[in-house]
A and B are shown apart, each in its own frame.
Chain A
Amino acid sequence: MRRRIEDYAVVRGFLERVCRQVGANSMHDDIREELLGHIEERAEALISAGSTEEEAIGEAVRQMGEPEGIGRHFHAAHRPVTDWKLIILVMLFALLGVFASINASYSEHMYSGIYAYKAVYLGLGFMVFVMLCFADYQRLRKYSSTLFLVTLSIMAWIGITGGTTVNGSGLYVNFGPVSINYHMVALPVLLIALAGLSLEHKQGIIKSVLHGMYRGALPVVLFCLGSSYAFAVLYVLGFLLLTWIMTRSGRILAIASMPVVAACAIAFWINGDYILKRLSGFLYPDSLDGYFTKVSAEAVRTAGWFGHGFAEPNATLPNILNDSTFVYLIYCFGWSFGMMLMMLVGLFLARMWRIAVSLKESYAHHLAAVVIYVLGIRLIWPILMGLGLVPALGLDLPFLSFSGANQVLDLALLGLLVSMYRRKNMLPARVV
């Protein structure tokens, strides 16, 4: 009967008029199918009570009510939603970041005027952010495997030919005046690509091993070749997290992690002494590798509740623009300011979590997991590092530290999250 009922002009007209009110085109089929099913069952009931088919269908449509009103109400339910709470928090972080770089640039002569660059990068970042907010994140998915392959190829290519050395690290690539740490970029990009690759709950052993080798171990090897052990570990954790979220299968997780563990073991075997020394440095503040922890603790201790004041020079803290941002802010403005920052970070993470939980579609879930993981670890680690609780790694606080071109990427990740939230009510129900 379904085919025939759609042929009635009253039915078609009714559905047309409902759907015309609904802005989200992606919902039209879903709404149409659901209302059609209802009209059909109502008409069948009326026919078995003695009506002719034509009368029954006319009556069933009449009982539905006024189509424009129904359509407008549907429209309201499927409108794009903007998460202002997250956007306001990001703006607040951005402003604090500009303030922090003004503070740093007045403190050290070599940084003078650096806040202008910060503002330019922020502007650029917000442009990307707004663009991505309005974009359909689902289109990204079909480029996932290409993105993954291209990123790995670039890592391998630069790893072999050598990048430019900035601050003693050879992991930088120059684009005109901009130098980018390409491992820093590769970490989130690889994980974003990973979120869109196919990985099934019931895949076989061979596919799981290949998954572990190509998507897990190979990136680890490339990170380790550039001595980015910290990024290698962060990548491994992200890889395992995604593999678990995407399959919910302990078996696949175990199989896929074997090649990864092997790659890590080889890296450790080759360069274990160095890694151990760096990792344990924070436990021995008086050793050479504990320097960062030692001067951070000293700066925090002397700060008191209200700090030493705006742009107070501190000659011992290394890299107050990036690695020591958090500690230097405490040094200048005190423990109270540090606590406020930690509270803001907490609010920000909680908001991202809330957004991720409200998403219904699986790709969106995986992407959100990547965004929260990457930004979460980069927000929490440098804070704990400044407080001397974890090993010192070259991680900058997103938004708050100078970050250079990194913040374009950070804002892009957030743009994706906002885009997913915007479209969460515009997705048709799944078929089981």
Chain B
Amino acid sequence: MSINKELLKGSTVILLLKVLSKKEMYGYELIREIELSSDGVFLMKEGTLYPILHTLEAEEMLESYWRQHDGRKRKYYRITDRGRSMLEEKTKEWVRFRTAVDSVIGEGS
């Protein structure tokens, strides 16, 4: 199933924050995680994820650091307190939105 691009864009931030709220991850790991847990619905162009991460860092939602692992340098991202409260807020917003859409199109039909 393919999903409209605009719909994807708005939900990327919430997905990234949600996944990072469970564990610190590096970019590739993060994309794999989102792909797997969304049954491949979120197949985005992988390079576009990084500028979003950098933007979230500039907005103080995330922090990043480089760590050597198995002879590889990887850049890890960690959610901040500000990021967590943002996630909470966005989640509430999303649930309200989803409930509204569900009730218009008729849930379960």
Contacts and interface: CB of A to CB of B under 8 A. Distances in A.
A76 B58 CA distance: 10
Main secondary structure of the interface of A (DSSP, over half): helix
A73 B55 contact: yes
Contact of B75 (A41, A424, A429): A429
| Most chain B CB within a 10 A radius of its CB, from A358, A424, A429 | A429
Contacts of B48: 65, 69-70, 73
Contacts of B65: 429-432
Interface residues of A, number: 31
Interface string A50-92: 0000000000000111110110011011100000000000000
A392 B63 CA distance: 45
B67 interface: yes
Interface in B1-42: 26-28
B94 interface: no
A87 to B, nearest CB: 20
B59 to A, nearest CB: 9
B30 to A, nearest CB: 10
B74 interface: yes
Contact of A431 (B46, B47, B66): B66
B51 A38 contact: no
Contacts of A77: 51, 54-55, 57-58
Contact of A42 (B26, B46, B50, B57): B46
B101 interface: no
A341 interface: no
B50 A70 contact: yes
B66 A63 contact: no
B28 A41 contact: yes
Nearest to A74: B51
Interface string B45-87: 1111011101101101001111100001111000000000000
Contact of B28 (A38, A66, A73): A38
A34 interface: yes
8 contacts: A34-B75, A37-B28, A38-B46, A38-B50, A70-B50, A78-B58, A360-B63, A429-B75
The 5 closest A-B pairs by CB, nearest first: A65-B45, A64-B47, A73-B51, A77-B54, A65-B47
